[in-house]
Amino acid sequence: MERGIRVSGRTVFYFLLPSMAGLVLFYLVPLGASLFISLTRWDGLTRLGGPDGLPAVIGIENYRRVLESPEFRQVLGNTLYFIVLYIPLMLAGSLAVASLLAREIRGVGVFRVIYYIPVLTSWVAGALVWRWVLSPRYGPINAALEFVGIPGPGWLFDPLWAMPAIVLASVWKDVGFFGLIFLGGLQGIDPAFYEAARIDGAGPWYRFRTITLPLLSPVTFFVVVVALINSFQLFPQVMVMTDNAGPQGATRVLLERIYTYAFRYYEMGYASAYSWILFFIIFLLTALQFRAQKAWVHYDG
């Protein structure tokens, strides 16, 4: 009879120590420092009247300033506007791509790689390409619209169209990633369900609505949670495509404000308060999604 190997707690601690040290040094310490800085007035470079050269502690003043400012309401509104446009388009596009790539056709592997290329592309490079594509004078989109007699909008220079332009670029960038996740979900559905439905005379739309969507609900839930978290961290496309905040602040979003206040205005305390408010918003919405999943997510096939 083999005897099990007994490992002491001290040995386990020594093996976990490198990972724990990295967690503490690069995650927990910066997190605690950010929380402390959010309660201070500090420019990140000089001493501003605090004891022993530390930043001056002002309590929750930064949080009050953020929440009471009209700018915060505009920023939050712009972010929610992006989410309302982005999530449905991304879900529809990703599911359509997954449905196409799930077919057993010759060379389907090549198409899967092609659809995934935007995911591997740098956001800076992709955003620069989209600036050209959406150019009101030289862009191919407006040229195509003009060819059919439709006057093209100013896109990135128009407050009405700036955020939809950001949404188009974001969907293009993310649809390959989420499409492969949906593809894995589609391939995990038992074909017997579809065969039984065909025998009963169910059409394609009925099969999609009653079989595919319910059995894909766990995957859809995961995609929505990840996409929502990413949406609140909207940043590089805004900075590159619309030069920070866009026309009349139309693309002014939460992460862009954090960057602007921290590294342009050097208000580190105010920027930290912004980031902690962003954290609580994401945490609350994610918790609500997990709470609401019981009503529409089906884990048993």
pLDDT in tens, 15-67: 888 899 999 999 999 999 999 999 998 887 775 555 566 678 899 999 999 99
Q: Quote the pLDDT of residue 45.
A: 76
Could you identify the residue written with the tokens 């065909």?
A: 198
Phi, psi (deg, nearest 5) at residue 2: -75, 140
- Please report which confidence band the pLDDT of residue 1 belongs to, taking 50, 70 and 90 as the band edges: very low
- Separation CA 19–CA 38 (nearest Å): 28
Is residue 2 scored above 60 in pLDDT? no
pLDDT over 70 (residue 152): yes
Assess whether pLDDT exceeds 80 at residue 229.
yes
- Region 70-86: mean pLDDT is 95
Which residue has tokens 């408010």? Answer: 277
pLDDT of residue 44: 79
Tell me the C-alpha distance between 119 and 133, whole Å: 18
- Mean pLDDT score, 84-106: 91
Residues 6+ apart with CB under 8 A from 165: 130, 134, 155, 156, 241
Are 233 and 275 in contact, with CB atoms under 8 Å apart? no
Distance between the two ends of the chain, CA-based, in angstroms?
42
Domain 60-295 fold is MetI-like fold (1.10.3720)
CA angle 174, 78, 68 (to 5 degrees): 135
Using CA atoms, how far apart are residues 245 and 172, in angstroms rounded to an integer?
A: 21
